[in-house]
Amino acid sequence: MSETFRAFRVFDEDGRVQGRVVSMTLDELSPGTVVIKASYSSVNYKDALAATGTGKIIRRFPLVGGIDVAGTVVSSEDGRFRAGRPVLITGYDLGVAHDGGYAGFVRVPAEWVVPVPDGLSAFDLMAIGTAGFTAALSIANLEQNGLAPGQGPVIVTGATGGVGSLAVQMLAARGYHVTALTGKDGAHEYLRSLGATDVISRHTLQMGTKPMEKPLWAGAVDVAGGETLAWLTRTMMYNGAIACSGLTGGTDLKTTVLPFILRGAKLLGIDSVMCPMAKRIDVWRRLATDLKPHHLQATATAIGLDDLPKAFATLLAGEARGRFVVNV
């Protein structure tokens, strides 16, 4: 394993955080008990924040970026993962404090490794990635809290992004009436092609100012936070639930207790990073079956390591549509 491989490594040089493609060897990677030959990684909003220093995500430098990876086991000190087995990792400290998925090889603790369910290729896994896992985890939690098809519309915010575009597909496949909320007025037909029944422009949305507005939604998958999340709390139907996983619209939340104590509204926090392994495996099983997105090819753009800076800029500018899948 002395061969060199390419990796996108992030450096903090004189207070400036930036990444570049370098040559590395296995000995330079973070320690771990499982070595994986990587096939694909992906680009998430968190990756863009980390690799550009826009957000203080990375906890040590230099570090290989990429919070996702799919590949094949090369060697393992853990009997559960034999050489040749396809596996994936999302979350934990990958790409944050441990060398991540933007490299030809990845070495990680066995406790982070998820066996790949039947029905998903390595490309599929990373077209889904952390974003799709978060979307599926959101839907699983909403359903555990009583959401079912036929109860009323389910709204998805940030609908053209990674989490949003995959959530639209998954909900539609499950038979939900999906309303997509987007700030991209040219993407309405695209969202309908993914399964959205209705599309609302964020630019024309009237949020109102009352503590409780007209009840509109049986459920919500929200990546925006901020003012949008506050509006959702005011417009949930009785016993409606919101799965919140993002902050693209801000971290502050200004609302009242009234929707919660008068309508039984529920606000569910969704964390994909430290999700327990049993839950993680079950959600990935559903991603290969009843929650499998039907339009992965239409929502995924394949790029290489050299294309990462442009992908980061696109995400941070709010101009991304769907997912970037990185061929490593």
- Residues 40-65 have pLDDT tens digits of 999 999 999 999 999 999 999 999 99
Supply the angle between the helices 277-287 and 122-144 in degrees, to the nearest 10: 110
Instruction: Identify the residue with better confidence: 307 or 161.
Output: 307
Q: What is the mean pLDDT of the chain?
A: 96
Checking if the pLDDT of 77 tops 70, the result is yes
CA-nearest of 165, 177, 176 to 135 is 165
Question: Residue 31 has what DSSP assignment?
Answer: P
Q: How far apart are CA 125 and CA 122, in angstroms?
A: 5
Question: What is the arithmetic mean of pLDDT over 271-289?
Answer: 96
Contact 216, 153 (CB under 8 A): yes
State pLDDT tens for residues 122-149.
999 999 999 999 999 999 999 999 999 9
Q: Would you state the pLDDT for residue 1?
A: 56
Task: Please tell me the pTM assigned to this model.
Answer: 0.94
Region 182-201 average pLDDT: 96
Hey, how many other C-beta atoms are within 10 angstroms of the C-beta on 235?
Answer: 23
Rounded CA separation 231/217 (Å): 11
Q: What is the mean pLDDT of residues 277-286?
A: 97
pLDDT at position 85 is 97
Contact 52, 41 (CB under 8 A): no
Mean pLDDT across the stretch 6-11? 98
CB 177 within 8 A of CB 152: yes
Q: What is the mean pLDDT of residues 184-189?
A: 94
> Which tokens go with 150?
């036929």
Q: Are 36 and 87 in contact (CB under 8 A)?
A: yes
% of the chain with per-residue pLDDT over 70: 99
pLDDT classification of 25: cutoffs 50, 70, 90:
very high
Q: What is the CA radius of gyration of the chain?
A: 20
Residue 248 pLDDT > 90: no
pLDDT band at 2 (very low <50, low <70, confident <90, very high): low
